[in-house]
């Protein structure tokens, strides 16, 4: 990442450092404001149709890989941080350092190599300090309804999502980083602090997308660590089924690519993750080094999943107490459609509710200044439904959603070429909608 750009991101972050809130500031709580919709732009729809021709339809078997088991330690005391607190305690400097660091920090997952290109704007600051810990549990059976001839999900995670308060932790570990989440008061959760995500939430409070993102309640300090407090999207759901779809045709920032060229960091952990999925994927040189760069891994992940073919990919699914993240090679339209079919149990009411909600989200996106002015990378749509037919979709994860330079906007459809910052979000969104529409017609 060029130094100037890095600096400008950091400066932007600091200049927008608002009172680190509160839960009572500008629309922090008590949200649920009304949203008035507009018609979907014909041009965009047309472009989406054009681009959707890119989708291929090859079938890829689901491969076996190890997936993590989630355990959560006790829920300590926390309190909300106010601007006054920080000034009184001379904490502004410390927090600013923390904000600056968090966007550039390296993580605890790679070993033995110099810090360099990765984790720019990573949404976790130090994975090693996790409260939610992940442990490999290996094969533990098949995954209920997904266990048919097409979907041999050979690994399974039992999501131990019970806190010391016997309260269910939400959607957090389907695709989240190790150690990123902590339980909070009833109806809310804590996510490890990211300056970038905080800025997004602040902006979103005044945006057309507001009704479709988790309510944001401010920054809190829990045992000396900072977290973003937000609504627990699963609160109020009994035995919800949850799916996390990572949106867009690109899952890494342009900055990560640039930095990887300037100062490549070889990561053994990513090499091993690659090998787990496809032992033939590493090049001879990578095999020799037993390590790969993060952009190389991310691009490979995009190519074996449906990120490249459809502009989104399924990251994980939770059914009852079982979670599966074994979708790394779910790539073709047919395979993705089958996963959705199984996820909703063929229930047309749920499919139609999802479609309606997605159409509302899309209309909001077409109106959204936030969406127009941000490169949206690594953000997910979270699908939640229960057996009673209640179904919701939420736009989550803004750790790698970054503001564009002044005057630049994205249409989120154009194919990405380095420098144009396009993310393919709406192209993927339309493909997802088409898949659900095809299920509704079955």
- Residue 119 or 255: the one with the smaller Cβ distance to ligand I3P is 119
Which parts of 213-370 are beta strand (E)?
Answer: 216-222, 225-231, 241-247, 312-319, 322-324
Q: How far is the CB of 432 from ligand I3P (least distance, A)?
A: 18
Q: 369-388: which residues touch ligand I3P (CB under 6 A)?
A: 378
- Residue 204 or 270: the one with the smaller Cβ distance to ligand I3P is 270
Q: Degrees (nearest 5) of the Cα angle 181, 187, 190?
A: 20
Among 191, 231, 294, 367, binds ligand I3P (CB under 6 A): 294
3 state DSSP class of 374: strand
CA dihedral 169, 174, 180, 184 (to 10 degrees): -10
# residues contacting ligand I3P (CB under 6 A)? 14
Phi-psi region of 127 (alpha: psi -120 to 50; beta: other; left: phi over 0): alpha
Among 191, 273, 341, 412, binds ligand I3P (CB under 6 A): 273
CB atoms within 10 A of CB 140: 14
What are the beta bridge partners of residue 192? 227
Report if residue 109 touches ligand I3P, rule: CB under 6 A.
yes
Report if residue 265 touches ligand I3P, rule: CB under 6 A.
no
**Among the listed residues 330, 114, 360, the one whose alpha carbon sits nearest the alpha carbon of residue 243:** 330
Q: 245 — phi, psi (to 5°)?
A: -115, 120
Among 122, 188, 332, 379, binds ligand I3P (CB under 6 A): 122
Report if residue 400 touches ligand I3P, rule: CB under 6 A.
yes
The token duo for 85 is 């607190």
Q: Near ligand I3P by CB under 6 A, which window of 20-28, 85-93, 293-301, 365-373?
A: 293-301
Binding mask 164-203 for ligand I3P (x = CB under 6 A): -------------x--------------------------
CB atoms within 10 A of CB 345: 12
The 3 state secondary structure assigned to 99-150 is HHHHHHCCCCCCCCCCCCCCCCCCCCCCHHHCCEEEEECCECCCCHHHCCCC
Q: Near ligand I3P by CB under 6 A, which window of 17-25, 114-122, 332-340, 432-440?
A: 114-122
Contact 14, 198 (CB under 8 A): no
Binding mask 307-346 for ligand I3P (x = CB under 6 A): ----------------------------------------
Among 69, 196, 215, 251, binds ligand I3P (CB under 6 A): 251
Q: How far is the CB of 327 from ligand I3P (least distance, A)?
A: 10
Residues engaged in binding ligand I3P (CB under 6 A): 107, 109, 118-119, 122-123, 177, 251, 273, 294, 298, 301, 378, 400
């Amino acid at each position: 990442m060029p130094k100037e750009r890095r600096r400008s991101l950091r400066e932007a972050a600091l200049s927008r450092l608002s009172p680190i809130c509160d839960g009572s500031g500008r629309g922090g709580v008590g949200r649920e404001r009304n949203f008035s919709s507009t018609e979907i732009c014909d041009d965009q729809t047309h472009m989406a149709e054009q681009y959707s021709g890119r989708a291929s339809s090859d079938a890829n078997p689901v491969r076996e890989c190890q997936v993590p088991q989630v355990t959560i330690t006790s829920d300590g005391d926390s309190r909300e941080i106010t601007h006054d607190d920080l000034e009184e305690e001379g904490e502004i400097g410390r927090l600013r350092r923390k904000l600056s660091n968090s966007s550039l920090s390296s993580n605890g997952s790679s070993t033995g190599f110099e810090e360099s290109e990765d984790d720019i704007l990573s949404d976790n600051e130090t994975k090693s300090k996790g409260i939610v810990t992940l442990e490999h549990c290996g094969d533990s059976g098949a995954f209920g309804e997904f266990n048919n001839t097409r979907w041999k999900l050979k690994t399974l995670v039992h999501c131990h999502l019970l806190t010391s308060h016997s309260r269910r932790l939400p959607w957090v570990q389907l695709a989240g980083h190790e150690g990123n989440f902590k339980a909070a008061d009833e109806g809310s959760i804590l996510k490890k602090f990211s300056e970038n995500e905080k800025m997004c939430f602040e902006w979103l409070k005044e945006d057309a997308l507001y009704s479709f993102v988790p309510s944001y309640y401010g920054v809190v300090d829990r045992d000396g660590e900072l977290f973003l407090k937000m609504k627990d999207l699963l609160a109020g759901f009994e035995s919800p089924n949850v799916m996390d779809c990572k949106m867009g045709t690109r899952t890494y920032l342009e900055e990560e690519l640039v930095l990887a060229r300037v100062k490549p960091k070889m990561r053994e952990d990513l090499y091993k993750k690659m090998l787990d999925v496809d032992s033939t994927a590493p090049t001879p040189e990578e095999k020799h080094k037993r390590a790969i760069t993060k952009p190389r891994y991310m691009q490979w992940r995009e190519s074996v999943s449906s990120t490249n073919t459809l502009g989104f990919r399924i990251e994980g699914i939770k059914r009852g107490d079982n979670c599966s993240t074994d979708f790394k090679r779910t790539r073709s339209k047919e395979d993705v459609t089958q996963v959705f079919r199984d996820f909703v149990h063929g229930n047309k009411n749920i499919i139609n509710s999802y479609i309606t909600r997605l159409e509302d989200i899309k209309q909001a996106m077409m109106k959204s200044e936030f969406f127009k002015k941000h490169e949206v990378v690594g953000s997910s749509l979270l699908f939640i439904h229960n057996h009673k037919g209640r179904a919701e979709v939420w736009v989550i994860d803004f750790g790698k959603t970054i503001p564009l330079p002044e005057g630049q906007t994205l249409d989120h459809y154009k194919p990405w070429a380095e420098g144009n910052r396009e993310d393919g979000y709406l192209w993927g969104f339309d493909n997802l909608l088409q898949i659900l529409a095809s299920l509704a017609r079955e």
